[in-house]
Amino acid sequence: MSEPAPPPPTPPVPLSALLAREDLALRRVAGPADPDTAIHWAHASEMADPYPYLLGGELLLTAGVHIPDAAADSGAYFDVYVSRIVAAGGAALGFGVAPVHDTVPGALVAACEAYGLPLLEVPPRTTFSGVARAVWELMAQARLAELRRVAEAQRSLAAAAARPDPVPSVLRRLARRVEGWAVLYGPDGGAVAEAGRAPEERARTALTGLARVVRPAEPDPATAGAEQVRPAPASATDTVAAYRLAAYALGPGPGFVLGVAAPGRDTGDHTIASVAAVLLSLLTGEQHSGTGAARTSALVRLLLGAAPGEVAALLGAGPWTVVHARPDSGTAPDPVAASALGTALGSPLVDLAPDAVRVLLPAGRVPDGQPGWVLGVSDAVSPADWPAADTRAARALARARAARVPLVRHGGRPGLARLVAPDEAEAHARALLAPLTDSPALVETLRTWLALHGSWDRTAVALSVHRNTVRQRVARCEALLGADLDDPDVRMELWFALRQ
């Protein structure tokens, strides 16, 4: 199934349209009267062998200067001449009857009839440049009509994608636009939906095979890490039983494939089918591996009261890591940037919070620094500890911003806190910090200030406040707690309490 040479970007014009131009007065004197004969361009040449200078699809124009006097009626000369034009893919031959020849040589007429090459008589009043200009004018008109057709089809497909039954609607519109058959193959290779008039069995079988070509195979776990076969192409085409066949992969992995079988060869059909493929990719993309349905199921269960541990298996394998991130430019993150960060980190579980982007990463995805971002990363935890990991990631981000480094990870080494029972530690922390309970800003300022070793400037940066505000808050904490914050023992005890 070799791919044919691509046509020029401008649609060709039928030879019949050129013959219909009264200002040219061209007359067909030999060759088939096929109305579908396509002219891609016009080219004038007086070479005895024009083969090396032709690209295919030309209307070759000649005044017969190259014809030797002795060969004017020689069948052998014209037989070779016409055969070379046909071998080069020439679409038609135009012969000017002035100023060299008064009539079209009879031997040339016979040769064109024999080889099936349309032969046009160009009258004396019609210049070759006039013929070429007419070809380009007709091509420009065809190009404009094709652009309008494609634009209208794009609008129609977009409207179909917004209907309550988007996939069948897109397939129906596509089949109508290409006047053929459109079929959506599922991950298992079977037809999920179809629209239009199905072609004969041979073309349907060929299209199914073409869909297998563009669908990448499942990776073999036994050969993981070994050299893999090159990925399949995103699309492929073939021609079977007078049908133009095309298949488009709709996503990575063994996903969906769009197949199209159309009897025509309009240059805009590929563009229209590509637009439909993009829309169907968006409509079916979440179904490739079931991850979209799984995330929706997990959300519904959480909203209905399920514990995080009960739904975590739907989202991926644990343990889990929480990442907090902010742009290093200091600007607020936007949805597009947040989505791009989630993609870079390898997780679709992204939350755009007012002050940071939060990403939940399943096991095995250890985040590295990301250009343009400052990251705070928690330790790996079970679903029951997600809230605590979220808090630790936020603190790590605050330390990263204060230290002006791209990434800070929460320390996972065993500490003295593990020597005290959790309930006793929490009770001690509540009692010690009770004077600050009604002021979350004071608690956060004290925590950040202690984490940054009492640095006024770095704490101000981390909290996005003025350094004098930090001084006032710390002084207020010292007064409410009745403690000397210059005492390292006091600082250590407060830090222990703040970590609970």
**CATH number of the domain that 487 lies in?**
1.10.10.2840
Residues 178 and 281 placed together within one structural domain of the fold: yes
Residues 48 and 127 placed together within one structural domain of the fold: yes
- 422-432 vs 488-498: helix crossing angle, rounded to 10: 120
Domain boundary among 375, 409, 443: 409
d(Cα 439, Cα 79) in Å, to the nearest integer? 100
Residues 371 and 255 placed together within one structural domain of the fold: no
CATH number at residue 87: 3.40.1390.20
Alpha helices in 334-464 (DSSP H): 335-345, 386-403, 422-432, 440-451, 456-463
Residues 436 and 405 placed together within one structural domain of the fold: no
d(Cα 69, Cα 156) in Å, to the nearest integer? 61
Residues 268 and 324 placed together within one structural domain of the fold: no
Residues with Cβ within 8 Å of residue 158, at least 6 apart in sequence: 279
Could you count the other beta carbons within 10 Å of the beta carbon of residue 359? Answer: 26
Looking at the 3D structure of the chain, how many domains does it have?
A: 4
Is 3 a domain residue?
Answer: no
Stretches in the chain below the pLDDT threshold 50 = 1-8, 219-231, 286-289
Count of CA atoms in the C-beta half-sphere (13 A) of 214: 25
| Long-range contacts formed by 186-192: CB under 8 A, 24+ apart | 186/256, 187/254, 187/255, 187/256, 187/288, 189/215, 192/167, 192/256
Burial profile 114-146: b = 16 or more Cβ within 10 angstroms, e = fewer: bbebbbbbbeeebebeebbebbeebbeebbeeb
Domain boundary among 381, 409, 437: 409
Residues 403 and 447 placed together within one structural domain of the fold: no
Residues 118 and 171 placed together within one structural domain of the fold: no
Q: How would DSSP label each residue in 447-483?
A: HHHHHTTT-HHHHHHHHTS-HHHHHHHHHHHHHHHT-
Residues 19 and 123 placed together within one structural domain of the fold: yes
Res 222: pLDDT:
40
Res 274: pLDDT:
86
Res 287: pLDDT:
46
Residues 242 and 176 placed together within one structural domain of the fold: yes
Q: Which domain holds residue 265?
A: 162-218+232-286
Two tokens, residue 34: 């096929």
Res 254: pLDDT:
53
Two tokens, residue 461: 């940066």
Res 422: pLDDT:
64
CATH number at residue 200: 3.30.450.30
Residues 245 and 187 placed together within one structural domain of the fold: yes
Res 228: pLDDT:
40
Tell the residue number behind the tokens 């919070």, with chain if given: 353
Res 229: pLDDT:
41
- The answer to whether 394 touches 356, Cβ cutoff 8 Å, is yes
In DSSP terms, 320 is beta-bridged to 381
Q: Is the pTM of this model over 0.75?
A: no
Is 295 a domain residue?
Answer: no
Is 300 a domain residue?
Answer: no
- Least Cα distance to 370 among 328, 411, 321 occurs for 328
| Extended beta strands in 232-320, E state | 235-240, 243-249, 257-262
d(Cα 236, Cα 498) in Å, to the nearest integer? 62
Residues 465 and 446 placed together within one structural domain of the fold: yes
- The answer to whether 268 touches 9, Cβ cutoff 8 Å, is no
Total residue length of the chain: 500
Is 69 a domain residue?
Answer: yes
Is 146 a domain residue?
Answer: no
Res 223: pLDDT:
39
Residues with Cβ within 8 Å of residue 304, at least 6 apart in sequence: none
Q: How would DSSP label each residue in 87-117?
A: HTT--EEEEE-SSS-SS--HHHHHHHHHHT-
Is 292 a domain residue?
Answer: no
d(Cα 210, Cα 205) in Å, to the nearest integer? 9
Two tokens, residue 392: 């630790």
Is 5 a domain residue?
Answer: no
Res 6: pLDDT:
43
Res 24: pLDDT:
93
H or E segment to which residue 173 belongs = helix 166-178
- Least Cα distance to 445 among 430, 467, 427 occurs for 467
Residues with Cβ within 8 Å of residue 75, at least 6 apart in sequence: 107, 110, 111
Note the Cα 246 to chain centre separation in Å.
Answer: 18
- The answer to whether 60 touches 92, Cβ cutoff 8 Å, is yes
Residues 403 and 423 placed together within one structural domain of the fold: no
Domain boundary among 409, 435, 470: 409
Res 226: pLDDT:
37
Is 296 a domain residue?
Answer: no
Residues with Cβ within 8 Å of residue 69, at least 6 apart in sequence: none
